[in-house]
Amino acid sequence: MISGTVTASKYIAVFKGIPFAAPPVGNLRWKAPQPVIPWTGTKACTSFGASPMQQPPAPFSMWTEEFLIPKEPISEDCLTLNVWTGAKSARESLPVLVWIYGGGFSSGGSACPIYDGEAMAKKGIIFVSINYRVGILGFFAHPELSKESPSQASGNYGLMDQIAGLQWIKRNISAFGGDPDNVTIAGQSAGSMSVNCLVASPLAAGLFNKAIGESGGGFTMGYRTLKKAEEDGAKIMQSMNINSLADLRKASAADLLKKQTPLGGPIVDGYVLPETIANIYKQGKENKVDLITGWNEDEGFVFGKAQDAVEFRKTLSTTFGEEAEEASKYYPANNNFDAETSQIKLSRDQTFAVNNYTWANMSDRNGGKVFVYRFMRKPPATGDFVKYGAFHTGEVPYAYDNLKFFKRDFEPVDQQLATVMSGFFANFIKTGNPNGPGVPEWKRYVADSKLIMALGDIQTTRRMTDTAQLNLLYKKMSGSNPQSNGNF
């Protein structure tokens, strides 16, 4: 039994910090999530559980504190989830949205203010957000860990946490008035990459029927093989002068965090991910879902000083080889200003656009129903924030109708966009189709016509205009010609 609270409006019940697995501490560090430890009586679930172990949050770049986890608590004992529901009885069978946060697989948590679930719950949706392990505690592999595991694999603990959360939802969400057979998984950045992994993973089969992937996918990301991840883990263990797993499990989390820099996220481990994402899709082995996916207009990154025009032309030559001249048409470097702009656009396309574009095309090829967006609204800004445009993560408060948590001087056009975008998403979560009363028509994405929804000051369907450079990038990054299967 659990108890929760109600929101100020009295319409939505909220349950926070519900354990969905045993604390992954001590001997359970670097093991698949284990069953919840039962409790007696009624557990008060009235505040968020601890965020997963990571460095203390601090605002940086365009991400102010509303995009970050609370400063405390942060702990290894983090496997909890949160539920917002407007259901008055367990018989209502409301659609369910499961939110998976981003953070580069090294940070993040479900308690970020912009991930609040009340607004979507008011639209007749049960909103669930899940915590999962990140960084070295979520994606650490080692030969001895693989040897002790029944799956003979190690490292994808963060993904297994997400699957355990979905299994909990399958078993329990009907008690909150939810429909366990109408579940949408959604995420942004590393959360979107997680959604992509879950759609590809046989372990997640039957746990959801729709997916929303915002700015992230794994088609060209080069996830590590199990062998490479195990080698990385062995080097870390050696660098700590520790010789046994037992002693490594006793090491402080703070000491471990100092060693996580070489680690990446998901691993092609032969178990959670039997093959690369691209190969799973090429064989049509992914879990079949309806899909919304897209990316933001200005979400590229240039860390440090941008290259000048001469340096960037050299980079294009090295990256694209004999196709550098074609690439320069899309990413020109006629002068230093052009070069800096092109570097931001190339970063956006390499990191995000080509993955979500590929996801849409492969899903369409495999018979899925796909809807693609481009988020183009630059949130109102002053000072240093003016330069960021439609930045990475900037769409999240609009998509889930949470502008009240985003501290900007919003204009009527922002409120209108949030109403429309969250309306699209709510319709899709309910029916698998974003269209409905009160929103403009969003045409289904088909690889041949490439119609997408532009989400800006106005919201309208238009044809993609940047497919040529994305096809070129996919060819370079995947080592294959995307035109060969006729769907790009």
Q: Assess whether the previous peptide bond of 56 is cis (omega < 30° from 0).
A: no
In whole angstroms, give the CA distance from residue 382 to residue 384: 6
**Cβ pair 25, 76 in contact under 8 A:** yes
Token pair belonging to 112: 């970020």
Angle between helices 354-365 and 190-200 (to 10 degrees): 20
Active site members = 189, 299, 392
In whole angstroms, give the CA distance from residue 239 to residue 95: 48
For the four alpha carbons of 264, 110, 99 and 133, in that order, the dihedral sign comes to positive
Angle between helices 354-365 and 467-478 (to 10 degrees): 90
For the four alpha carbons of 68, 71, 75 and 78, in that order, the dihedral sign comes to negative
Q: Report the 10 Å Cβ neighbour count for 22.
A: 16
Token pair belonging to 440: 């403009």
In whole angstroms, give the CA distance from residue 45 to residue 5: 8
- Cα–Cα distances in Å, from 61 out to 49, 109, 264, 301, 462? 27, 19, 22, 10, 31
In whole angstroms, give the CA distance from residue 222 to residue 264: 10
For the four alpha carbons of 472, 477, 482 and 487, in that order, the dihedral sign comes to negative
DSSP letters along 255-306, please? HHHTT-TT--S-EE-SSSSSS-HHHHHHTT-SPP-EEEEEEETT-----SSP
Instruction: Give the chain's length.
Output: 488
Helix (H, G, I), strand (E, B) or coil at 129: strand
Q: Report the 10 Å Cβ neighbour count for 178.
A: 26
Helix (H, G, I), strand (E, B) or coil at 100: strand
In whole angstroms, give the CA distance from residue 161 to residue 456: 35
Q: Report the 10 Å Cβ neighbour count for 88.
A: 10
In whole angstroms, give the CA distance from residue 480 to residue 392: 28
Token pair belonging to 483: 């035109």
